[in-house]
Structure 1
Amino acid sequence: MGLDVVDEQSVLLRVATLVAQETRLDRFFEETSVEAARLLGIDATGVMHYLDEGRAVVVGVFREGGARMLPVNAELDFDRAESALGVASTTKAPARVSSYDRSRGELPAVMRSMGMNVSIATPILVDGEPWGAIVGTAPDEESLPPGHELRLVALAELIAQAIVNDARRAELAASRTRLLEAGDETRRRLERLLHEGAQQHVVALALKLRVGIGRTDPAGAEAEVLRDALADAMEASGELSEIARQLHPAVLSERGLAAALQAVAARSELPVNLRALPGKRHSAVIETTAYLMAAEALANAVQHAHAHECWLHADDRGEVLVVEVRDDGIGGAALRPGGGLEGIADRAAALGGTFLVESRAGGTAVRIEIPTAG
């Protein structure tokens, strides 16, 4: 019947470790259900999340021999006054029910079909309100004696902490994404200002200079000055265009990541082999991050790696976008404070992704993986 105090502390330590490791909630709930079964010495436990008045969903479950009847994501109705799950939600305290023989409804029917008569529920309180409950069921009170529901209190507190931590991480990730989006919007606005403002003025100046050249003696000093001015204007126009493209290429917004990667590969001073391109659009912040990564890696291959050839691979893989650039250069690429690659690594981390640089004599590989779900 349950475990001794030393083993109880071991259970709590293992669950606390899962909390500290920021274990993904779905796995955490499953592991916690297993630990609850060990703690109570029974073979049917679970974590339930309250949906609304009188309804809950299974988010974690353990049942010796398999989760029959109530697998993860199963929903069920419960009576707020006659079920342990309901009483725990109402009183915000551990509860138990010793028989469902005379009870009606979905939950009692499931309990009887499982051969379970006794159930306990200890509420999981988040900000003082019942988020859900950790539950245990058994055929009789000999298997689940009175008072065992109190043994789940510390476990419920750890579950609540994991839920709060996950929510805070999600809020932080959303905040980081908003900062990236705000920065990207500024880049897009500057690109438009350059393209529609300064660059257009330079183009207009170049046209006027051409007209002026046509009205002067081709062999005269005035024509020579105008031709020099025209060359300067054309060079300035090209530089403005390149600056605008580096800020945020218009093709990325208008046609998406695949077209933008084709364009940056075509402009590269090195031959770039396109091995794969994404087949669908993603959010602007994801596409911008992937593009900047590819552009930075290709620029490094040209400027520092002394490479002869590059390979670009960008592919949707389920719920993640993978972009990889390889070259056959001398290596030496690394994340350096204030460097372009470090900036890409920071963007990847802000989006919950990963960034990897492998560089040695014979070539460099730069790879980013960005989650695209949610």
Structure 2
Amino acid sequence: MAARSDGADGPRNGWAPSGLTPFLLGPTAPLWLGFAVGAVLIVAEAALVGLLGRALPHQMFGVVFFLGVLVISAGWPMWMGVVMTFASTVVYLRMHLGGMVIPHTLQDLIPIVVYMPVALLANVLVGQARLRAVEAREAAEKVSELAERQAALRRVATLVARGAPPDEVLTAVADEVANALHMGNAALFRYVDDEYGEIVAVHDEAGHPRMPVGVRLRLTGDNVAGMVLRTGRAARLDSHEDATGAAAAAIRDLGLRSGVGAPIIVEGRLWGAAIAGSSRPGAPPPDMESRLADFAELVATAIANTESRRELMASRARIVTAGDEAMRRIERDLHDGAQQRLVALALTSRSLQASLQPDDALAHEIAELGDGLVAASEELRQITHGIHPAVLTNGGLRPALRALGRRAPLPVEVSVDVANRPRESVEVGAYYVVAEALTNVTKHADASQVEVSVDVDGGALRIVVADDGVGGADTGGGSGLVGLKDRVEALGGRLQIVSPMGRGTTLTAYIPLAAD
């Protein structure tokens, strides 16, 4: 088993070795094939030179032997080209000197002096050309790989930026990691405690058993997720063959041979790990940790954004709930206190009026006082109804919205199709959506009628207020829709407004029935 808890240095025998050593010292094709090709070329070249020599005696055809040198130099490492140069030189000398190899005269040295340097130089030049081609190919592959990885990162970053749900982001990250890093399998772990982790997203390699999402694994023993949990750093296992523990056994059952992991750090705490695994033999590339860390950072950003948004929504909901509670207390205090006091004073004034003579001037003044007290009591009742209508608390949305419709200065058709009463904050939110919408219609729409409908759409309460007015409404311009939008969003909902000029306005609000 080969393990490393910090993959900065990585293995040297990765799947895609780079550098010049394989080119200079190791073959790109089997050595035996190189020797066979060289032998065949030398025999063919000797035969060709022999034929040319009989046809054109007294001519030197050493250039023919360059063909074998060039072929071997182009297809095998440089040292084989040197061997081919010496071998072809020996054969050429034997043919040129009539069976001898060692020259005896200065004239016999001329072919060696000319042929060998030129052949060696050709070997070097072809080798350099091949070297440049290898470097260019490796550079192109690296650029292509980098572009592919950057495109994958951009796709994930786009999901994060538009506030996609965490499940969607996590699944996308697992898919992009497996595809961009060519690892076959990828998984995201969330650490439950100091011993267990939960699989929250996975990409399975085709043809292999599927890794179940939502399963909790005990991370003791030898496994990448456990190593990241214990060290808080990137980790790798170059082989799971001898790894111990239940998690390692499960990984082997999936057909995975190696893996690399990077920590997911959310606001300074270790949230989980991004794991990439492969069923291929050999160790992952040495830079896999750094490449995987880029995706882990995006996951951390998405999780942090989601948690911040959840905390913000909860805070806004608490503020709205506190405001509703405060208005309810004010309504109750006014109804039970000042309003009752006014009613009592009005009754007292009527009693005083009845005790006096009808033509008494004081009786007339007391009658006016009583009328004023009754009017003040009615105005206070209207105010308390606007603050928090008791009919909503006692009867629910249907009677409360119908009461709103009756008080509106234009015809309002109300339809409420909700089997069970929703939670209180949803009821209050829906009531104020309709109340504010009717107020806006009255002030700005120049409409002749309004339709209000409330029903359940999936897991949300849908409130629709449509008028036949002039249109052109938006959430700006001080229309009151901004506050309405804030209230709906504070409850985890959303507000949509369709208001083409001259074609009326349709306001639709969705408020989740279940608390987030």
Q: TM-score, length-normalised on structure 1?
A: 0.89
CA contact (8 A) 1:272 1:311 kept: yes
Matched, 1:77 2:228: no
In the TM superposition, 1:78-93 aligns within 5 A as 78-79=219-220, 81-93=221-233
**Aligned equivalent of 1:18:** 159
For 1:184, the equivalent position in structure 2 comes to 324
| 8 Å Cα contact 2:316/2:490 also seen in 1 | yes
Task: Give the direction of change, closer, same or farther, for the CA distance of 1:19–1:364 in structure 2 (3 Å limit).
Answer: closer
Q: Which residue number in structure 1 is paired with residue 252 of structure 2? A: 112
**Fraction of identical pairs, as percent:** 37
Consecutive unaligned residues in structure 1, runs of 5 or more: none
Structure 2 residue ranges without an equivalent (≥5)? 1-14, 17-143
**Residue of structure 1 aligned with 2:179, choices 34, 38, 42:** 38
Equivalent-residue separation in structure 2 for 1:170 and 1:339 (angstroms): 28
| Off by >6 Å, runs of 4+ in structure 1 | none
- RMSD in angstroms over aligned alpha carbons? 2.6
Moved more, 210-219 or 40-49: 210-219
Counterpart of 2:426 in structure 1 is 286
Match of 2:170 in 1: 29
Moved more, 19-28 or 282-291: 282-291
1:143 Cα offset (Å): 7.5
- What's the CA shift for 1:355? 1.8
For structure 1, which segment, 161-170 or 355-364, has the greater mean C-alpha deviation from structure 2 after superposition?
355-364
Aligned length: 373
Q: Distance in 1 between matches of 2:368 and 2:502?
A: 45
Change (3 A) 1:102 1:335: closer
Question: Cα deviation per residue 1:28-66 (whole Å; 9 max; x = unaligned)?
Answer: 101111111123102211211111232222222212449
**How far apart, in 1, do the equivalents of 2:242 and 2:316 lie?**
54
Indicate the structure with greater strand content. 1
**Range 144-153 or range 310-319, more displaced:** 144-153
SS at match of 1:140: coil
- Quote the residue 1:59 is aligned against: 200
Q: CA shift at 1:268, angstroms?
A: 3.3
Which region of structure 1 is more displaced relative to structure 2, 351-360 or 119-128?
A: 351-360
342 and 16 in structure 1: CA distance in 2 versus 1, 3 angstrom threshold: closer
Greater mean deviation of Cα atoms: 56-65 or 2-11:
2-11
Q: TM-score, normalised by structure 2?
A: 0.66
Residues in 1 aligned to 2:355 and 2:415: alpha-carbon distance in whole angstroms: 52
Please say if 1:227 is aligned against 2:367. Answer: yes
Distance change (3 Å), C-alpha of 1:187 and 1:202: same
After TM superposition, give the deviation of residue 110 of structure 1 in Å. 2.8
Q: Show CA shifts across 1:5-27 (max 9, x none).
A: 33333333333333222222111
Report the Cα distance in structure 1 between the residues aligned to 2:275 and 2:302, rounded to whole angstroms.
Answer: 17
Residue type of the alignment partner of 1:174: A
The 5 A counterparts of 1:202-241 are: 202-241=342-381
Q: In structure 1, which of residues 144, 165, 180 is the aligned counterpart of residue 284 of structure 2?
A: 144
C-alpha distance in structure 2 between counterparts of 1:274 and 1:312, whole Å = 5
Q: CA deviation at 1:273?
A: 2.3
Aligned-pair CA distance for 1:90: 0.4
Q: Deviations over 1:47-92 (max 9, x none)?
A: 111112322222222124499532332322232x311110111011
The 8 Å contact of residues 204 and 211 in structure 2, kept in 1 or not, is answered as no
Structure 1 pair 66/285, CA: closer, same or farther in 2 (3 Å)? farther
Paired position in structure 2 for 1:130: 270
Residue identity opposite 1:354 in structure 2: R
Greater per-residue helix proportion = 2
Q: CA deviation at 1:305?
A: 3.4
CA distance in 1, matches of 2:162, 2:209: 30
Deviation per residue, 1:221-263 (Å, 9 max, x gap)? 3332222222221111111001001111123233433442233
* Structure 2 CA distance for aligned equivalents of residues 151 and 141 of structure 1: 20
